[in-house]
Structure 1
Amino acid sequence: MPKDVPVLDNILPVMTTIMNKSLASGVVPESMKTALVTPNLKKPSADPEIFQNYRPLSMKPFVYSVVKSGYFNLRNIALARRQLSKSATRSITQALVVSRLDYGNSLLYGITNQLMNKLQMLQNNAARLVAKTPKRAHITPVLRELHWLHVRARIDLKIWYLTFMALNEEAPLYLAELVHRYIPPRSLRSQNKYLLAEPSFHSTNFGGRAFSVMAPRLWNNLIAKQEAPIYPSSKTDLKK
């Protein structure tokens, strides 16, 4: 590319075309649905032909990034806490910290307890800052007062909501194609409970974290907890 040609002038028409097609059709162009994933070796000198020499897939960098930025914002909010009301502090904390816990959190399903505890600790400290709660005070009543679900429950809620959208044809097609109603081979009482078919999987580490597996599993558990086979009609019903 010539040096005197701005990069923006070259990529802007292409990006504009992609965005317009996406907005017009409601789906991402097929050419943009292909991703190239390159595994990394544990050591540069390791033999690439041996599977055990590759690093396992991990959400640790993503979690550490969320925690790092969250505490950075909490420290800045704490500096001005005396001049802020509780309502203002809550709004700022939700915008700068809690929103980061919700961003892409459906990908965090099935992470280790160690990583989950780091995210939960961040939310606990955010709640203590808003409510001015002592460090050793029990945090659950504070979270309940703020109407903040625990991090693990927020992840489950996001997956329930995506599943609900997929069943109502309001989610992207690539998600809607992954969930299917359970149809028993013969007439059973479970056929009226809005259950989803749970596919089998082979990988014990990551297979259960696929949307096609975790979505039906969590949805069926949600339906099983209800006394009557009531189909959730809104996102508010999923929180109950």
Structure 2
Amino acid sequence: MKNSKLKLNADKTEFLIIGTSTQRAKLNGFFPTHILSQSITPAASVLNLGVTFDENFNFKQHISKTCRCCFYRIRDLRRIRRVISLSVAKTIATTLVSSRLDYCNSLLYNSANKDIPKLQSPKLFSKGSHAFSSFFSLRGVLKSLHWLPVHYRIIFKMCTVAYQALSYKQPAYLNSMLTPTRNSRQLRLTSSNPLYIPRVKTKAGTRDFSVAAPTVWNALPATVKSEGNIVSFSRRLKTYLFNAAYPP
């Protein structure tokens, strides 16, 4: 920090220890510790770039805060719903609600199955008027809006980040985590450029980018991965996921 001409503010410093309760208990003897004459202990959760990280690394608090944010936006939209058309309401909802659901959502990949549906549940929109909550909860209307379910939105984000890391080598630290599979002999699958998936022993390990990104990338058809630029790739990827989410 000194080399970067930065100064630590002890009053605003928080740190987090992530792990199981048993793992965290082994470190209890090291705290509280002192930084610049201030006594500090590990926090149960911390906020980083708008994302709430918790000590169990399950993002339950972040999901709850995202739902509350969506409640707030929908309540505001309900106040003006009578004076705007349905098309305008859809545009506002896409801008304010959909964008909030998409923010840093790749961090939620392979989270607990009981937590992710909270972001998609019709209850999320039940705070609005009956007409507006119905508009959001109907699967057919969501399909007409071309909105992907939350699970597929997470996969979409993970795939686009992987595409940028592979195609543009940026950011470099993510590109270094993606390694093509090398085979001693030519196989048909090699034409689809599969990525190496490291072996992990825990479910938390499957959420690491080095594991999650190759997993979702390898599942994509070659016609999607072969697109030459990010715009056409995103368009074809969304079409592919949309058809998977809403089969005919």
| Cα distance, 1:189 vs structure 2 | 1.4
Pick closer, same or farther for the CA change 1:239–1:81 going to 2, 3 Å. Answer: same
**Alpha-carbon distance in 2 for matches of 1:86, 1:175:** 41
| Cα distance, 1:123 vs structure 2 | 9.1
**Alpha-carbon distance in 1 for matches of 2:20, 2:212:** 29
Which amino acid in structure 2 is aligned with residue 180 of structure 1? T
Which amino acid in structure 2 is aligned with residue 105 of structure 1? N
Aligned to 2:203: 205
Structure 1 vs Structure 2 CA RMSD: 3.4
Which amino acid in structure 2 is aligned with residue 155 of structure 1? I
Aligned to 2:179: 180
Aligned to 1:38: 17
**Alpha-carbon distance in 2 for matches of 1:166, 1:131:** 43
SS of corresponding position for 1:112: coil
Instruction: Tell me if structure 2 keeps the 8 A contact 1:73–1:97.
Output: yes
| Cα distance, 1:113 vs structure 2 | 1.9
Aligned to 2:163: 164
Q: Within 5 Å, which residues of 2 pair with 1:1-240?
A: 37-39=16-18, 48=27, 56-121=56-121, 125=125, 132=132, 134=134, 139-169=138-168, 171-202=170-201, 204-223=202-221, 231-233=226-228, 234-240=233-239
Instruction: Tell me if structure 1 keeps the 8 A contact 2:71–2:124.
Output: no
**Alpha-carbon distance in 1 for matches of 2:124, 2:169:** 33
What is the percentage of aligned positions where both structures have the same residue? 29
- Return 5+ residue gaps in structure 1 as ranges: 1-12, 16-34
Aligned to 1:25: none
Pick closer, same or farther for the CA change 1:229–1:81 going to 2, 3 Å. Answer: closer
Instruction: Tell me if structure 1 keeps the 8 A contact 2:224–2:237.
Output: no
- Return 5+ residue gaps in structure 2 as ranges: 7-13, 30-43, 45-54, 240-248
SS of corresponding position for 1:162: helix
* Residues 37-85 of structure 1: per-residue CA shift (max 9 Å, x gap): 434896xxx66469xxx95222011101100111011011112101111
**Alpha-carbon distance in 2 for matches of 1:161, 1:123:** 29
TM-score, normalised via structure 1 length: 0.71
Normalized per residue, the structure richer in strand is: 2
Instruction: Tell me if structure 1 keeps the 8 A contact 2:180–2:193.
Output: yes
